[in-house]
Amino acid sequence: MRIFKTVSRTVLGLAALFASNLSYAFDVPAAAPAAAVPAAAPPLNWHAIIMFLIFVSITLGITYWAATRTKTAADFYAAGRGVTGFQNGMAIAGDYMSAASFLGIAALVYFNGFYGLIFSVGWLVGWPIILFLVAERLRNLGKYTYADVVSFRLQQGPIRIMAAISSLIVVIWYLIGQAVGAGQLLHTLVPQMSYRMSIVIVGVLIILYVTLGGMKATTWVQIIKAGLLLGGATCMAFGVMLHEGFSFAKLFSDAVALHPKGIKIMQSVVPIGAKANPIESISLGLTLMFGTAGLPHILMRFFTVTDSKAARKSVLYGTCFIGYFYILTFIIGFGAIILVANNPEYVVNVTKNILDLKGGGSMPAIYLSHAIGGNFFLGFIAAVAFATILAVVSGLTLAGASALSHDIYASVIKKGKADEKKEVWVSKMCVIGLGILAVLLGIAFEKQNVAYIVALTFSIAACTNFPIMVLSVFWKGLTTRGAVLGGYTGIFGSIILLIIGPTVWTKVLGNGPALFPYDFPTFVVLPVVLIVAYVASITDGSESAKKERAAFEAQMIRAETGLGAEVAASH
């Protein structure tokens, strides 16, 4: 009974929190107190706005081009399966490298030094696993969503509903994180643009890209963004190294000499001031590694390539781009210690704290671009950060819409007999719906602590999508019952342990000490999911389970050889 009370109180608390924020969202923007605007408004950042407009016009041009070539469902969901390995590698990098990882990891290095590298390594190691275990088999078995793969020989209805629920939870929460980040970033870069207006602009643009141009437009937005981000970050790292005489020894010793924490920035393997927690570190590692391999918008990219060979190549390119990018952000973070910290132009009050930057903790990389290349380069990097958000949000929205239209509408409601045109139409409506939802939630969550969002999305991906997908591909014994029970264990296990964990229970809800002492529940939930899926499968003696096991051989032949796999469109 007490448990029931606590749970209901928590749910009510969350609902109230949400409602109060949502009602805030509908406030008329003009009614916002004028005091929020600083007395002397900073000059309009014209460089950023012009470059941003150039990016938007180019991407809208591409969207128009893509729209004229998007006719079938395969065009809309999978870019006609005509994407090459190299293009998909760029798009993968563009889909995965978010503004949060660019600005966030650079900021982590700026404040904590070496720890920033430890953190970024975890975001890369999922990629080799994707290649070794799932990429080619995904391409050979799937059509538009990863649920196609899991439900290949299992019952369509229950599997797709489970997979769609987990995909949608991941996508919607990821969208909230991106939308809040977009609003804050744009508002900081161009203070004349309000937080809400920034989010609305993002929402409108991604609805245009995705409804009109589908996966083709999304892919090209991601490719251009990856090129801009890698190019911009390369220029920044080059500027830093030029300043340091191309000597890493000098870069690091200068940073140690200038940083208020001194040599500690080279000697702390946790954020400076935090306590080391072995179990938490391992759980974070599991979450990042297997979470990356279970993100629906990432997995969806493998259906866009011509064949399994291109799928495999694209992971190689993607991994190299992403790894290179993390090395650049590390150099950028150290460069910011040398060129941004202690500079009165960027720091709130140099006599108090030489690290504390105007505009908040995510600004080191942005200011570094100004220190290296003046207003022009700052404008460029600001526009790149914006492009980054658009590319990630487009990919997410398309993945969420395909879970609703392809898995729920076409496969569950219409039992696979949906008219193709109607399915694409439903998908476009879902894109519009998700776009509006992202805008509303982004506004509702403006003042919230959104730190737990990454933990939530990656935990569900690591505990549900990844293990169920691997079991369905590699283990003959998996049955519908095992996959569904295992899947829901992953979804609800992750959510419940996150709610009673330190971030949500203590920091967000203010309920005192957490009932579950770890931020990342994967080390508990993942083994439980595997056990549940195993036991529920081997004890399943039903007729359908026998058929599902018998169908494994044919599935494996297709997964391994690619015979019968979806082919690229001829046009």
- Least separation in angstroms between residue 308's CB and other proteins is 9
Q: Which is nearer to other proteins, 55 or 111 (CB)?
A: 111
- Least separation in angstroms between residue 59's CB and other proteins is 29
Contacts of 495 (CB under 8 A, 6+ apart): 169, 456, 460
Which residues contact other proteins by CB under 8 A?
Answer: 114, 117-118, 121-122, 124-125, 127-129, 131-133, 136, 248-249, 252-253, 256, 263, 266-270, 276-278, 281-282, 285, 289, 309, 312-313, 315-316, 319-320, 323, 326-327, 474, 553-554, 556-558, 560-564
d(CA 110, CA 344) in angstroms, rounded, equals 16
Angle at alpha carbon of residue 160, lines to 461 and 535, rounded to 5°: 70
d(CA 566, CA 463) in angstroms, rounded, equals 28
Q: Which is nearer to other proteins, 281 or 343 (CB)?
A: 281
- Least separation in angstroms between residue 284's CB and other proteins is 8
- Least separation in angstroms between residue 553's CB and other proteins is 6
d(CA 266, CA 495) in angstroms, rounded, equals 35
Contacts of 537 (CB under 8 A, 6+ apart): 477, 478, 479, 481, 482, 483, 545
Q: Which is nearer to other proteins, 117 or 515 (CB)?
A: 117
Q: Which is nearer to other proteins, 323 or 361 (CB)?
A: 323
Tell me the CA end-to-end span of the chain in Å, nearest whole number.
63
List, as own/partner pairs, every contact residues 410-417 make where C-beta atoms lie below 8 angstroms and the sequence separation is at least 24, other chains included: 411/147, 411/151, 411/156, 411/157, 411/160, 412/156, 412/157, 412/160, 412/161, 415/156, 416/156
432-446 in b/e form (b: 16+ CB < 10 A) is eebbebbbbbbbbbb
Q: Which is nearer to other proteins, 190 or 311 (CB)?
A: 311
- Least separation in angstroms between residue 140's CB and other proteins is 10
- DSSP letter (8 states) at residue 142: -
Q: Which is nearer to other proteins, 48 or 470 (CB)?
A: 470
- Least separation in angstroms between residue 195's CB and other proteins is 35
CB 491, CB 166: distance < 8 Å: yes
Bridge partner residues of 305 (DSSP): 83
- Least separation in angstroms between residue 105's CB and other proteins is 12
Q: Identity (one letter) of the amino acid at 154?
A: L
Q: Which is nearer to other proteins, 115 or 377 (CB)?
A: 115
Q: Which is nearer to other proteins, 109 or 461 (CB)?
A: 109
- Least separation in angstroms between residue 40's CB and other proteins is 41
Bridge partner residues of 83 (DSSP): 305
Written in H, E and C, the secondary structure of 364-417 is HHHHHHHHHHHHHHHHHHHHHHHHHHHHHHHHHHHHHHHHHHHHHHHHHHCCCC
Q: Which is nearer to other proteins, 101 or 397 (CB)?
A: 101
Q: Which is nearer to other proteins, 69 or 243 (CB)?
A: 243
CB 317, CB 192: distance < 8 Å: no
Q: Which is nearer to other proteins, 281 or 448 (CB)?
A: 281
- Least separation in angstroms between residue 551's CB and other proteins is 11
CB 182, CB 42: distance < 8 Å: no
- Least separation in angstroms between residue 129's CB and other proteins is 5
207-235 in b/e form (b: 16+ CB < 10 A) is bbbbbbbbbbbbbbbbbbbbbbbbebbeb
Q: Which is nearer to other proteins, 114 or 518 (CB)?
A: 114
- Least separation in angstroms between residue 261's CB and other proteins is 13
- Least separation in angstroms between residue 431's CB and other proteins is 32
Q: Which is nearer to other proteins, 549 or 558 (CB)?
A: 558
- Least separation in angstroms between residue 470's CB and other proteins is 10
Contacts of 500 (CB under 8 A, 6+ apart): 514, 515, 516
Q: Which is nearer to other proteins, 306 or 405 (CB)?
A: 306
Nearest Cα to 394, choosing from 166, 182, 234?
A: 182
Angle at alpha carbon of residue 300, lines to 297 and 305, rounded to 5°: 135
CB 399, CB 167: distance < 8 Å: yes
- Least separation in angstroms between residue 476's CB and other proteins is 12
d(CA 409, CA 386) in angstroms, rounded, equals 33
Phi (first) and psi of residue 562, to 5 degrees: 80, 5
